[in-house]
């Protein structure tokens, strides 16, 4: 049995305390099956962080994870004056920023580029995909394909979940629409209780096949449905019984810890039974105007729910923008007979959809007065080769963990700029390298997590959440 699990600290086979009045023993037998200790503990840590003044503001992150590695040259860093085999099949469009051009398939973003920051000099060395870890953790050692411990380095969202928690009680702090577990960074050394809450199990959404076809079916939402033999009354009765046992032990409790545990356990019950989380994940409660505005595509509906989640108090939301459960839909090799397609047939249809999604989200958040609170990040795990025609394809590009582009919006930062540059053919970084550590530091600063925070590995050795001298991006202000 794997020893890294949500109840590792629960010591389920160990008898503790007074046999007849053993609070933890009762919890082990009864409460773990309903909500577990991990959620009350998380709620307690969230309250303690707020009391210490670490999370006074309502800050959020929405990560649009372009699983597979989008081509930088065919999105945000075009090379229109280069030969076809380098520049690719797409044209360019002028943006709102003088002299700045991006792909012709991103016209809405081009018209709003004063709301965005484009980074053209991201250094993705050591990053690979499936599992996708380096860019989502900020740690170069988080490479499971080459490092047996690579999967143990926690994702940025998991660190935020532990050291900051959710913005509102009764909401999970870290949520992901996860197409496959290898696409989203997990909690690793922090413990599975900080893994992302899986949004697809809490939301009723369309079902798409591996190449992006709508099957006409819907699925999800079952997590809020109680088992047939366990209704709300029985859960509250069980909680009441646990409280009675606590009162019997109150004379032995010199530090008031039992009262505190009761409070956080009740919040856990409220999360399971309450309406806040249920309503946030229920897209049918959104106005028809905004359902139409975002659109009926699976990713668009997930994005609308993501906006609802940050409004309701979730701190960190990741959208796994992939149809395929393997390396990802943005893995545009164009290998003959492959499922991903190349640049024209694979990436081409994705960009207008993405263009609509990102600009709709930014506009919506701005209208609601939330854009300064929500940091939006769009990226994949690396760029793609400067020249087309790899692996027997005439239209695709191979992996290129040398340079990549990404974009940011919101968060109250200074936007309307391009940071860094690649060389003339897009093959290497020309100026201002931005590392995964820099990205992590920027996110942690936004979320109010101290940059000197550490966690421990299996040997008890401390590991910093910001690696390789990472620093927040000064250009953002």
pLDDT digits (tens, 9 = 90+) for 306-358: 999 999 999 999 999 999 998 999 999 998 877 778 999 999 999 999 999 99
CB 178 within 8 A of CB 184: yes
Distances from the Cα of 358 to the Cα of 73, 106, 159, 273, 439, angstroms: 19, 10, 25, 33, 19
Identify the pLDDT of residue 339: 75
Lowest mean pLDDT among 183-187, 276-280, 437-441, 450-454: 276-280
Greater confidence, 22 or 413?
Answer: 413
Cα–Cα distance measured from residue 212 to residue 68, given in angstroms and rounded to the nearest whole number: 15
Q: What is the pLDDT of residues 161-200, one digit of tens each?
A: 999 999 998 899 999 999 999 999 999 999 999 999 999 9
Residue 75 pLDDT greater than 70, yes or no = yes
Cβ-based neighbours of 456, under 8 Å, separated by 6 or more: 189, 462, 463
For residue 134, what are its two tokens? 């380096």
Q: Quote the DSSP letter at residue 165.
A: -
Element (H, E) at 407: strand 404-410
Residue 82 pLDDT greater than 90, yes or no = yes
List, in order of start, the domains of the chain with CATH numbers.
25-476 (3.40.720)
Question: Residue 222: which pLDDT band, with cuts at 50, 70 and 90?
Answer: confident
Question: Residue 1: which pLDDT band, with cuts at 50, 70 and 90?
Answer: very low
Query: Which of 93, 87, 94, 91 lies closest to 72, judged by CA?
Result: 87
Residue 265 pLDDT greater than 80, yes or no = no
CB 350 within 8 A of CB 212: no
Q: Percentage of the chain surpassing pLDDT 70?
A: 78
**For 253-280, what is the mean pLDDT?**
58
Q: What is the pLDDT of residues 125-142, one digit of tens each?
A: 999 987 878 999 999 999
CB 453 within 8 A of CB 465: yes
Cα–Cα distance measured from residue 382 to residue 349, given in angstroms and rounded to the nearest whole number: 20
Query: In whole numbers, what is the pLDDT of the chain averaged over residues?
Result: 84
**For 63-88, what is the mean pLDDT?**
97
- When computed from its CA atoms, the radius of gyration of the chain, rounded to whole angstroms, is 23
CB 134 within 8 A of CB 381: yes
Identify the pLDDT of residue 21: 42
Residues in the chain: 477
Cα–Cα distance measured from residue 156 to residue 142, given in angstroms and rounded to the nearest whole number: 12
**For 256-272, what is the mean pLDDT?**
51
């Amino acid at each position: 049995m794997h020893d890294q699990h949500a109840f590792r600290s629960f010591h389920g086979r160990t008898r503790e305390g007074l046999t007849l009045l053993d609070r933890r023993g009762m919890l082990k037998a009864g409460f773990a099956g309903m909500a577990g200790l991990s959620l009350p503990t998380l709620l307690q840590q969230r309250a303690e962080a707020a009391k210490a003044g670490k999370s006074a503001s309502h800050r959020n992150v929405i990560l649009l994870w372009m699983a597979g590695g989008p081509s930088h040259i065919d999105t945000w860093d075009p090379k229109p004056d280069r030969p076809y085999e380098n520049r690719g099949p797409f044209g360019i469009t002028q943006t709102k920023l003088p002299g700045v051009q991006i792909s012709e398939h991103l016209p809405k973003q081009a018209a709003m580029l004063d709301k965005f920051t484009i980074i053209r000099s991201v250094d993705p060395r050591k990053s690979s995909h499936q599992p996708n870890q380096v860019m989502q953790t900020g740690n170069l050692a988080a490479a499971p394909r080459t490092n047996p411990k690579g999967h143990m380095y926690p994702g940025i969202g998991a660190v935020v979940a532990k050291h900051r928690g959710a913005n509102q009680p009764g909401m999970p702090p870290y949520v992901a629409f996860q197409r496959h577990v290898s696409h989203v960074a997990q909690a690793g050394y922090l413990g599975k209780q900080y893994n992302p809450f899986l949004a697809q199990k809490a939301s009723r959404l369309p079902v798409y096949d591996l190449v992006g076809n709508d099957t006409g079916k819907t699925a999800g939402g079952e997590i809020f449905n109680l088992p047939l033999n366990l209704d709300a009354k029985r859960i509250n009765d069980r909680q009441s019984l646990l409280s009675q046992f606590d009162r019997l032990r109150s004379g032995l409790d010199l530090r008031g810890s039992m009262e505190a545990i009761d409070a956080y356990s009740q919040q856990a019950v409220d999360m399971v039974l309450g309406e806040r989380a249920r309503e946030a994940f229920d897209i049918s409660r959104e106005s028809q105007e905004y359902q139409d505005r975002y659109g009926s595509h699976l990713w668009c509906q997930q994005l609308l729910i993501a906006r609802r989640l940050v409004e309701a108090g979730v701190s960190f939301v990741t959208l796994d923008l992939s149809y395929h459960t393997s390396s990802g839909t943005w893995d545009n090799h164009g290998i003959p007979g492959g499922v991903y397609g190349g640049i024209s047939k694979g990436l081409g249809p994705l960009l207008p959809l993405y263009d609509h999604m990102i600009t709709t989200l930014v506009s919506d958040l701005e209208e609601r007065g939330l854009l300064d609170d929500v940091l939006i990040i769009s990226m994949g795990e690396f760029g793609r080769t400067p020249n087309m025609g790899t692996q027997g394809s005439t239209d695709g590009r191979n992996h290129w963990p040398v340079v990549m582009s990404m974009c940011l919006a919101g968060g109250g930062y200074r936007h309307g700029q391009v940071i860094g540059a690649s060389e003339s053919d897009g093959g290497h970084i020309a100026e201002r390298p931005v590392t995964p550590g820099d990205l992590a530091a920027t996110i942690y600063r936004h979320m109010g997590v101290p940059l000197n925070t550490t966690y421990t590995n299996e040997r008890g050795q401390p590991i910093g959440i910001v690696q390789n001298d990472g620093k927040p991006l000064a250009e953002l202000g």
